[in-house]
Structure 1
Amino acid sequence: MKIGVPKEIKDHEYRVGVTPAGAKALIDAGHELCVEHNAGDAIGFHDDMYEAVGAAIVPAPEAVYECPMVIKVKEPQASEFPLLHAGQILFTYLHLAPDPQQTRHLLERKVVGIAYETVTDQAGRLPLLVPMSEVAGRIAIQAGAAGLQMINGGRGVLLGGVPGVPRGKVVIIGGGVVGTEAAKMALGLGAEVTILDNNLGRLRQLDDLFGPGLNTRFSEAHSLQELALEADLLVGAVLLPGHAAPKLVSRELVQRMRRGAVIVDVAIDQGGCVATSRPTSHSDPMYIEEGVVHYCVTNMPGACARSATMALTNATLPYALQLAEHGEAALKHNPGLLAGLNVYKGRVTNPAVAQDLGYDYYAPDSLLKS
């Protein structure tokens, strides 16, 4: 199959859909790769590295999007919608539930949209979301620590404190991959860290993993309010696969938080779990609302794009090889890939997306059979 790899155009997005090593694996398997000029240049993956493994470098995105399959990182931007064509396999992060405009365009273009964030493995986990969640969880603490600096409107709190001075208080909503990685970073800095989750089994696992250095609390309205009011840094790490994130932190609660506290809403890709969150970019990542600093960048892993690209290709390559080899038929043979199918030739095939955006839901296996 002929596969296109475009240069990402989202604000300060330097990741690329396939590393040179990934390109070699696809080419060695008998496929053709068209990589847009300078697609990975900013992170040290230069055109000559792709050419050395047999990829063709093309000067413009139009040539990339002529390919029957496109592998990228972030959802298509407005200028890319007209380049998509019917039946084309689009393999990327989509995050459709909070994005009705993108959903409408993908349906109109009748693409086969397979979203990294809903692909599952045999245990029902989300293997293509995990690596970027790991990166985002770690960046959340770095960004939060910066937000607490006075120059950014923060409280002037050093998360680790110093001898004789209290440590900063970090509260993490959600004990999944993002929350776990955020906890590792915050504990490493010496902060006082509490994770909230509504899964007691997960809280037990976190207790076993971190020991007494981590505080765990069952997530319900009273405990969330109590902890949010004491937090120097609040990290939103909530995930309902496919769905828009629930708004767990109300505006009224944000109004009562400490002035200069920081919220890092990692769930912003799915709409955010804080009522005062709105999408930001790496060009202008922070804003202050209700006296609280907010960091709500929708492509957080792009800040560490080289590491993130390598981690992402490690995870996506086996699935990309299946799609390249078998096309749509790969969806029939791999239930995990089928779970990633969000839109199919004008129909919504993910129940969470259909529910949140008000579309009719079509079972993907029935569409493929027909």
Structure 2
Amino acid sequence: MKVAVPKEIKNHEYRVALTPTGARELVSRGHTVSVQADAGEGAGYSNRDYEAAGARIESDVELLWQNAELVLKVKEPQPAEVARLTPRHTLFTYLHLAAEEQLTRGLMTSGATCIAYETITDGQGGLPLLAPMSTVAGRMAVQAGAHSLEKAQGGSGVLLPGVPGVAPGKVTVIGGGVVGENAARMALGLGAEVTIVDKSIARLEVLDDRYQGRIKTVYSTADALEHAAKESDMIVGAVLIPGAAAPKLITRAMLADMKPGSVLVDVAIDQGGCFETSKPTTHAEPTYIVDGIVHYCVANMPGAVARTSTQGLTNATLPFVLALADKGWQQALRDDPHFLPGLNVYDGQVTYPAVAEAFGLESINPGKVVA
């Protein structure tokens, strides 16, 4: 199969969808791998690294897409990339379509087969291709939030660990999944007072047992969220409903009760954000202020640590990439019931119910598509 790896063009996105090691695995199986010139540069991989792995370096981006059958990316395709998609393409990347109607309709118009990393499941009900980037984003959230608390960044001037004689900062994490737990671990490691809010009693029990009271656990209610807004120096939004838009849990009205200069870090921004006042930002301009509250809503946080993120991503995606290349997308999805939910758009139709519901569209059963 002809596999293409374009250079990411989203603002300050330095990751690449395939490492040279991954390219070597594909080439060893008889596939052709074409990598856009300098696609791996931001992650520390040179053109020579890919050539040594047996890949071809392509400087003509139009030719790269035209010759491709399987296109591997990191972030959702930008408008110029959507325009290059045709029915002969299979696109494999993060899509997060429930928050992007224009992108969804663009992919439908293209006729391409679009498979999303973030909706593939595993036998335990997890999201194995979302997990590595969720881990990175969760850990980065507190790092970015702590920086945003600095007075020069518009924050309140609170140092999370405090100092002797001065109380530490208070961090609330909404959502106790992969992102939430990693954010909480980072905040705890910095010496902050940490609370996780979640609707799952079972998950709160796991976290309480794991951290032995060092992290407070609170069942999520309107009262709990209002209390968090009033008391916290930083709130990390780590809510995930797979494939669907995130609920708005911190309203604009709540901002009036927050401490001036407090920080909201919305890791759910890819799915529309879980704060009412959230809007996507970039690494170039990561924050903005609403009613005295600093908002950090970068939609590709892991792109800032491209080397680590690229390696973690390829480790997770490579088995699926090999299956697509070896078998073709229909057989690969037919053989693996956990791979099948990754199909989001096919032949102009939405195949993921939560995406269709977000925009009032009809969805088709992906099982019928591959049958």
Question: Is TM-score (shorter-chain normalized) higher than 0.5?
Answer: yes
Q: CA separation in 1, counterparts of 2:216 and 2:88?
A: 49
CA contact (8 A) 1:331 1:338 kept: yes
1:10 maps to 10
* TM-score normalised by L of structure 2: 0.98
5+ residue gaps, structure 1, are none
User: 1:124 — aligned with what?
Assistant: 125
State the match for 1:351 in structure 2: 353
The aligned counterpart of 1:207 is 208
Using the TM superposition, give the Cα deviation of residue 87 of structure 1 relative to its aligned residue in structure 2, in angstroms: 3.3
The one-letter amino acid of 1:36's match is Q
The equivalent of 2:196 in structure 1 is 195
C-alpha displacement of 1:171: 0.3
Residue identity opposite 2:183 in structure 1: A
Amino acid at match of 1:351: P
1:338 counterpart residue number: 340
Determine the structure 1 residue equivalent to 2:273.
272
Mapped partners of 2:151, 2:323: distance in 1: 50
CA distances 1:207-255 after superposition (whole Å, capped 9, x unpaired): 1111111000000100111111110000000000010000111110122
Q: TM-score, with normalisation over the residues of structure 1?
A: 0.99
Distance 2:212 2:6 in 1: 45
Q: CA deviation at 1:88?
A: 1.1
Instruction: For 1:250 and 1:45, locate their aligned partners in 2 and report how far apart those are by CA, in whole Å.
Output: 43
Q: CA deviation at 1:336?
A: 1.4
> Distance between the aligned counterparts of 1:87 and 1:337, measured in 2?
20
Q: What residue in structure 2 maps to residue 248 of structure 1?
A: 249
Give, in whole Å, the separation in 2 of the partners of 1:29 and 1:336. 23
**CA–CA distance in structure 2, aligned partners of residues 272 and 144 of structure 1:** 16
Q: What CA distance in whole angstroms lies between the structure 1 residues aligned with 2:341 and 2:61? A: 28
Q: Is the 8 A contact 1:36 1:61 kept in 2?
A: yes
> In 1, Cα distance between the equivalents of 2:71 and 2:209?
42
Match of 1:109 in 2: 110
Cα distance in 2 for partners of 1:44, 1:366 equals 42
In structure 2, the residue matched to 1:362 is: 364
**Aligned residue identity for 2:232:** A
- Tell me the CA shift for residue 64 of structure 1: 2.3
Amino acid at match of 1:316: T
Unaligned runs of 5+ in 2: none
Please show how residues 141-152 of structure 1 align to structure 2 within 5 Å. Answer: 141-152=142-153
User: What SS does the corresponding residue of 1:213 show, helix, strand or coil?
Assistant: coil
Q: How does 1:78-227 map to 2 (within 5 A)?
A: 78-227=79-228
Return structure 1 stretches of 4+ with deviation > 3 angstroms: none
In the alignment, which residue of structure 2 is the partner of 1:294? 295
Contact 1:64 1:70 (C-alpha < 8 Å) held by counterparts:
no
Q: CA deviation at 1:322?
A: 0.2
Amino acid at match of 1:90: L
- Secondary structure class of the residue paired with 2:256: helix
Structure 1 residue matching 2:98: 3-state secondary structure: coil
- Whether the 8 Å CA contact 1:87–1:345 is kept in 2: the answer is no
* Greater CA drift, 21-30 or 131-140: 21-30
Q: Between Structure 1 and Structure 2, how many residues are aligned?
A: 369
Report 1:21-60 matches (<5 A): 21-60=21-60
Distance 1:292 1:64 in 2: 44
In structure 2, the residue corresponding to 1:234 is in which secondary structure? strand
- CA drift of 1:367 comes to 2.1
Q: CA separation in 2, counterparts of 1:340 and 1:119?
A: 5
Residue-by-residue CA offset, 1:77-129 (whole Å, 9 max, x unaligned):
01111111113110000000010010011000011100000011122210000
Q: Aligned equivalents of 2:343 and 2:82: distance in 1? A: 18
Matches of 1:145 and 1:183 in 2, distance apart?
Answer: 13
- Counterpart residue number, 2:75: 74
Q: Which amino acid aligns with 1:41?
A: E
Amino acid of the structure 2 residue aligned with 1:53: A
In 2, Cα distance between equivalents of 1:127 and 1:266: 18
Percent identity between the two aligned chains: 54
Stretch deviating more after TM superposition (332-341 or 140-149): 332-341
Secondary structure of 2:255 counterpart: helix
Note the alpha carbon deviations across 1:45-89, whole angstroms, 9 max, x for none.
000000001100000321221201001100000111111111311
**Residue 122 and residue 87 in structure 1: after superposition, are their counterparts in 2 closer, same or farther (change >3 A)?**
farther
CA–CA separation in structure 1 for the residues paired with 2:122 and 2:31: 25
Instruction: Give the letter for the 1:148 counterpart.
Output: L
Kindly provide the amino acid, as one letter, of the partner of residue 191 in structure 1.
A
SS at match of 1:17: coil
